Amino acid sequence: MPDSPVLQIKPPSPELAAKIANTIRFLSADAVQKANSGHPGAPMGMAEIATVLLTRFLRIDPKDEKWSNRDRFVLSSGHACMLLYSMLYFQGYLTLEDLTNFRQLGSRTPGHPEYGEVPGVEATTGPLGAGFSMAVGMSIGERMLAETYNTPKFDVVDHFTYVLMGDGCHMEGITNEAASLAGHLRLGRLIVLYDDNHITIEGDTSLAFTENVGQRYEALNWHVQHIDGHDCQAIAQAIEAAQSETTRPSLIVARTIIGKGAPTKAGSHHVHGAPIGDAEIAAGKAAIGFPNQPFYVPPEVAEYFEVRRGELHALRQDWNQLFGEYEKKHRSSARELIRVLSGELPKQWKKAVPEFPSDKALASRSSGGQIMNKLGTVLPELVGGSADLAPSNNTEIKTGASPDFIGPGSFLGRNIHFGVREHAMGGVLNGLALHGGFIPYGGTFMVFHDYMRGAVRLSSLMRLRTIFVYTHDSFYVGEDGPTHEPVEHLAALRALPRLHVWRPADANEAIYAWQAAIERRDGPSVLALTRQNLPTLDRNAFAPARESLKGMYILWSTLGKPLDVLIVATGSEVHLGLAVAKALAEEGRGVRVVSAPCLEAFALQPEGYRKKVLPRRPRKRLVLEAGIIQGWEGIMGETGLFVGMDDFGISGPANQVAAKLGFTPEAVLTKIREAGW
């Protein structure tokens, strides 16, 4: 078993451990009862598991919430959050008053765990299985940092990732994707405790779930144990065995009774998602000798955790001393580790990417890959991969200190083979971002965003610096046909709050899209990139590409003529807009072309700038985008014209598809004339 000072501390007596478990059990029941809302069953059933983790294993110091070598603890079954909040109370993150305000407006104990809002919460969980996939990412992150920065005498990165999950988590497909990847990679420091209570909202799990979960995980190369989830000694022994297993992740199948301690409702689905009632709580407390007092904490339990918090603080101080010695012996590595963990970027990093000359057409997936590789030479924290599409997405870092792919038991690399697992990839990327020390990216075809939208949504909710590289961004996919041609996806992505969607028009706009995504620290970014080649604009004739950082900018205008037609376009359609503008200008009309790589970035600009780019007049506004109209109505106005998609794409060579769908200068000019412009 790995050397762990925490495990050398004498655990509580069986009697005290039972009292701690019962305290957690009824703190959870009391909070749900007071709120008249919540899920008491799982927290009551997992109280012994929480007790063992708190008293014997979790290395967490609330005096330094962001201590980099803390153990990560993720409650994947987020509806059971009162268990987590009770644990955070005993750890010192929350107060008893916080527990009494469960699910109330503005409280620090919301209805599901919220990262960034509740101290000590490692990830926002709620959608079942999402927390599990993020924990896989955290465990990968721990291993990658450990292999990169640890030395024989200095294991400055050596923590565990613990997960609690329930039956519903195992039913969701994302967990199988993530578990398959974790087993393949041999994540020996990932320890999952499964609350095997056989109950979901509708009733017994046998209604819809009869598989042998343990055997499934064994087939996925996991170390699997089966225990009584209410036997503290058995729980502790299983966790110790899991810590000793260094070549496989561990699943501990803990058979529990949902709502344990509720005299008449324990073991039934009636205790899953509703308060159990004052009478049931009173009877349950009487049976264990607790007074019928809401939020009761026995003095000996409070005293135990006061001492325990001191022990954990001393443990962190020991680690601080170790890291201080590491800094003296390995100054450069320590400096870099501190920097990547802080999220700060190195000086002069932007100079790694030169601008592209205008004499060559490049698909933005190609230019994007070149940019990413240049950035990789100066940003060791830039890590990621693709859902089995790296050659198409151009998302493999081939330069830098460690260009290799990580693999089973080997984590000294920059690239990850995610396999055909889009949803799990999104969750793992979020886990890497949450762990700290990384700017993670993941690539796939844009149309497959549908498979990972849940993870992208959580990334936005948590304001993570995660980068989603979506190539093959329109009907120009061509021969692959409508199943692979995204139509509504740009609109769907832009509908997510806090997500910035970048669709660059050429290689140099792609530089600044990557720059914006790297610099952004308050949310994720999408890079929507083309399969087909795009001309690289001559910036002597057009506005500088750096203006694209503002989200929208005036790319080109006729001179000396009143503005008559305003053209707004994104990505590949910017070139279509320029061709249309040239034809209109030759007719003597005043035209402006606005490139709009990121609507969200434009919305953040000062009002004066936005009015300059998009003046109230003219009312002849033409919007060009190979997607649906949704989201453009405000920019287009009531009298504007939209050239886009209102149905699915078709199969054929890209240029023929474009002509068929009306994405040619001649077709657009015809629409303009038909509109009476």
Number of other residues whose CB lies within 10 A of the CB of residue 1: 12
* CA dihedral of 107, 112, 113, 116, whole degrees rounded to 10: -60
Catalytic residue (one of 122, 396, 422, 573): 422
CA distances (Å), origin 393, targets 108, 113, 154, 241, 389: 41, 34, 38, 41, 6
Which residue bears the tokens 């939208």? 453
Question: Which residue type, as a one-letter code, is found at position 399?
Answer: T
Our answer to whether residue 422 is catalytic in this structure is yes
* CA dihedral of 263, 264, 270, 276, whole degrees rounded to 10: -50
Which residue bears the tokens 């393949």? 184
User: What is the 3-class SS of 193-244, one letter each residue?
Assistant: EEEECCEECCEEHHHCCCCCHHHHHHHCCCEEEEEECCCHHHHHHHHHHHHH
Residue closest to 644 by CA, chosen among 486, 517, 498, 532: 486
Query: What is the DSSP code string of 387-430?
Result: SS-HHHHT----SSS--PBPBTTB--SSEEE--S-HHHHHHHHH
**Residue 618: cis peptide before it, omega within 30 degrees of 0:** yes
Question: Which residue type, as a one-letter code, is found at position 624?
Answer: L
Token couple for 317: 């101080």
**Which stretch of DSSP H or E encloses residue 594?**
strand 591-595
Token couple for 100: 């009494």
- Radius of gyration over alpha carbons of the chain, in Å? 28
CB 428 within 8 A of CB 140: yes
Could you give the residue numbers annotated as active site? 422
